[in-house]
Structures are given as C-alpha cells and as structure tokens.
C-alpha cells in the first residue's frame, strides 16, 4: 500500500516539467549527491568510468543509455545513433559487452516498424561484436508489443537478445512458460511501474509470491536466468533453487542496480556468484530516478531535501 502511494507520488512528479528542469540544472552537479548515487553520469565515458572499478572487483555491467518515450522519428533515429556510439565506445574501452535498452526510446510510440528497424541496426553492430542486448520492460501498455517484437526477432535468428518479465503482472507467469520454451534468456524483476489492479498485483506479498513461483520456473526450465532484485529473501530462494536443481553459479546471474545495496552486491561476489550491475547514464535520467525513489517510501523526505537544498 505504502509502496503504491510512493510510486504514485513519484510518477506524478516524474511528469513535472518544472521539477525536471530544476533537477536537471542542479542535481547532477554534486558527485556525492543523491542523483549521482543512482546515475553514473551524463556520458558513456562517465558510465565506463563507473564500470571499471566494479569490474576490477569482480562484477560485470550492463549499460543503459537513459531515455524513453520519444515523440518523433527524428528523436528515435538520434537515440539509435547514440546507442551505436555507445556500442563502439564499449568495444574501444574493453568493458562488459552488454547493453539494456527501451523500445519507446527507439520510437515504439511513434511507429512500431521504425522502432524494430532501429533495434535491428543496433543488433547488426552489437551481435557480431559479442554483445548481449537486453530489452528492458516498460509499463504494461507495452508488454504485449515488446514480447511480440522480441519473439519475432528470436524467430528470425537473433540469439544474443533477452527480455525482462515483471512478477507484478498477472500475465507474466504464462509469458515465462512461452519464453522458457523458446530457450531465451529472461531477466526477472518485480516491476517498477504503477499499474492498474486490472493487470497487476498491488500487495507486496502477492508480487513476492509470484516472483518466487517464477524463480522456480526459471531454475527448472529457464536459460541462464538473470535474477534482478535486491530482496534478500528472493536471493536466498534463488540460491536454494539453484542448488536443488544443480544449476551451477556459471549458469545464472544476479543483477542489481547501480548504487543500491552495494553491501549485498559485494557479498554475493565474495560468495562466488555472478553479479551484473545495471549502469544507467545520460541526460534523460529524470524518469528513471523517479522510479528508483518511488520504490522506497522512505525516499520521499530524502529527495525533497536533496533536490531543493542549496548544497544539491
Ligand atoms: C538489474 C535490474 C534491471 C531492472 N530492469 C527493470 C525493467 O526492465 N523493468 C522494470 O519494470 N523494472 C526493472 N527493474 C526494477 C524492478 O522492477 C524493481 O522495481 C526494483 O528492483 C526494486 O525491487 P526489488 O526486487 O529490489 O525488491 P523490493 O522488495 O522493492 O526491495 C528489496 C530491498 O531492496 C532495497 N531497495 C530496492 N529498491 C530500492 C531503491 N530504489 N532505493 C533504495 N533501496 C532499494 C531495499 O533494501 C529493499 O528493502 C530492474 C531492477 C534491476 C535490479
């Protein structure tokens, strides 16, 4: 309940142009400020700079050039060019060849066929260079179309792509069975968007129960599951299921967000598990940042003080 209220509050703030303009001007300046805790910086070099020390400590990374819901084909084409430049920069830097992207950033709201063309362009550069490309999952408005596009590309032979399923959506357990049957990789998350009750569980206990059921589906029928959560109960369950089903630590990975539960991230690496850190960067950080804040009701006071205080 509290999380729903918090998600609602921050999703309303996410639409405020004034707050976005204000935050964009001041909040990223301070290297130790609240925004920098979650966002690696504005540029791909900032992101690579953030990933290097993580990789030196045994983590891998996935790079997300932040941006979503572009409203013209010109913006979508520009976002695609940016991603191509990101792929090249990652190759030159020699860091993890792994990116995460959103289809609305590539123009899904403007024209589906163009968004698919844009994704294909990125895959044509990234796949031969050994990249894995994860299509992030956005709000439930896009679930069907995102999975359709993914499944079409898969049928056409793309194998270095994967999707994300959200345990808060009622439909996800059925989606998981279908994606597992393909032999494709799933990143399992709880879901970051404020969804209507007609499509999603609202009680945390229901979202967690669904997450646990889906974990079992992944460890019995899945291909290289990505367990993306900071919830220690779910992490312990994943470890138990992996042991029970003889899935060795090289056949799955944990994934966590940059700046969240760094203690837990380090502990898992020390225990010999694979841990990939999701490293977001770019000028369009505001909606992503608002989702992170909405996940924790305790963040409310924290952010208001952080953004509006003179020191931010
Ligand atoms: C690698 C990765 C990729 C993701 N990709 C997507 C995606 O494509 N689509 C999507 O809808 N969602 C995505 N998410 C977000 C996800 O859906 C959840 O909203 C988010 O991970 C919080 O849920 P949780 O599983 O950590 O569990 P929760 O039960 O929400 O949190 C468990 C504990 O983690 C810590 N924690 C969690 N969130 C925060 C926070 N924001 N600030 C501080 N502490 C926190 C707290 O200690 C909390 O008690 C992704 C998450 C990860 C880790």
pLDDT tens for each residue of 74-104: 999 999 999 999 999 999 999 999 999 999 9
Nearest atom within ligand 1 for CA of residue 292: 41
201-239 pLDDT, tens digit per residue, is 999 999 999 999 999 999 999 999 999 999 999 999 999
Pick the residue whose CA is nearest to atom 34 on ligand 1: 230
Q: Which residue has the higher pLDDT, 13 or 247?
A: 247
Of the residues 231, 259, 297, which should be mutated to test ligand 1's pocket, given the most ligand atoms within 8 Å of the CB?
Answer: 231
Is residue 84 within 8 A of residue 125, CB to CB? The reply is: yes
Q: Is 7 in the pocket of ligand 1 (CB under 6 A)?
A: no
Pick the residue whose CA is nearest to atom 15 on ligand 1: 192
Q: Is 75 in the pocket of ligand 1 (CB under 6 A)?
A: no
Q: Is 164 in the pocket of ligand 1 (CB under 6 A)?
A: yes
Average pLDDT over residues 139-160: 97
Compute the distance from residue 229 Cα to the ligand 1 centre, in Å: 5
Average pLDDT over residues 103-115: 97
Compute the distance from residue 98 Cα to the ligand 1 centre, in Å: 19
Average pLDDT over residues 12-38: 72
Task: Look up 141 and say whether it is catalytic.
Answer: no
- Taking the C-alpha atoms of residue 250 and residue 227, their distance in angstroms, rounded to an integer, is 13
∠ CA 62-68-71, rounded to 5°? 150
Is residue 232 within 8 A of residue 265, CB to CB? The reply is: no
Q: Is 37 in the pocket of ligand 1 (CB under 6 A)?
A: no
CB-side neighbour CA atoms (13 Å) of 12: 6
Nearest residue to 287 via CA among 65, 20, 56, 21: 20
Q: Is 260 in the pocket of ligand 1 (CB under 6 A)?
A: yes
Percent of the chain with pLDDT strictly greater than 90 = 78
Place of tokens 């841990």: 275
Per-residue pLDDT at 164 exceeds 80: yes
255-296 pLDDT, tens digit per residue, is 999 999 999 999 999 999 999 999 999 998 988 988 888 887
* Structure token pair of residue 156: 């056409």
Of 97, 187, 276, 292, the active-site residue reads 187
Phi, psi for residue 269 in degrees, rounded to 5: -65, -45
Is residue 218 within 8 A of residue 180, CB to CB? The reply is: yes
* Structure token pair of residue 117: 């063309």
Within 8 A by CB and 6+ apart from 164, the residues are: 134, 135, 136, 137, 186, 187, 188, 189, 228
- Residue 277's SS3 state is strand
Pick the residue whose CA is nearest to atom 44 on ligand 1: 260
CB-side neighbour CA atoms (13 Å) of 244: 11
- 165: enclosing H helix or E strand: strand 161-166
Task: Look up 187 and say whether it is catalytic.
Answer: yes
**For residue 149, what pLDDT is reported?**
98
Q: Is 255 in the pocket of ligand 1 (CB under 6 A)?
A: yes
Q: Is 122 in the pocket of ligand 1 (CB under 6 A)?
A: no
Phi, psi for residue 34 in degrees, rounded to 5: -65, -35
pLDDT confidence band for 26 (50 / 70 / 90): low
């Amino acid at each position: 309940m509290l999380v729903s209220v918090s998600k609602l509050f921050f999703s309303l703030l996410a639409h405020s142009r004034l707050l976005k303009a204000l935050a964009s001007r001041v909040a990223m300046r301070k290297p130790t400020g609240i925004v920098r805790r979650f966002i690696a910086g504005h540029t791909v070099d900032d992101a690579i700079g953030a990933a290097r020390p993580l990789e030196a400590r045994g983590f891998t990374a996935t790079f997300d050039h932040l941006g979503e819901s572009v409203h013209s084909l010109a913006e979508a084409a520009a976002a695609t060019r940016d991603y191509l430049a990101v792929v090249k920069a990652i190759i030159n830097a020699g860091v993890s060849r792994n990116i995460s992207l959103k289809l609305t950033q590539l123009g899904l709201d403007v024209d589906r066929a163009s968004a698919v063309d844009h994704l294909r362009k990125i895959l044509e550069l990234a796949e031969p260079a050994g990249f894995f490309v994860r299509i992030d999952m956005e709000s439930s408005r896009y679930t069907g179309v995102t999975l359709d596009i993914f499944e079409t590309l898969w049928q056409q032979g793309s194998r270095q792509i994967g999707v994300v399923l959200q345990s808060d959506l009622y439909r996800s357990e059925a989606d998981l069975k279908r994606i597992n049957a393909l032999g494709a990789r799933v990143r399992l998350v709880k879901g970051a968007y404020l969804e209507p009750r007609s499509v999603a569980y609202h009680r945390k206990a229901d979202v967690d129960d669904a997450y646990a059921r889906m974990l079992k589906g992944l460890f019995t029928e899945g291909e290289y599951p990505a367990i993306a959560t900071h919830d220690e109960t779910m992490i312990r369950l994943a470890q138990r299921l992996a042991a029970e089903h003889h899935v060795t630590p090289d056949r799955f990975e944990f994934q966590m967000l940059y700046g969240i539960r760094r203690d837990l991230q380090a502990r898992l690496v020390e225990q010999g598990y694979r841990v990939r850190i999701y490293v977001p960067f770019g000028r369009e950080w505001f909606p992503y940042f608002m989702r992170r804040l909405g996940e924790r009701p305790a963040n409310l006071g924290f952010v208001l003080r952080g953004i509006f205080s003179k020191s931010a």
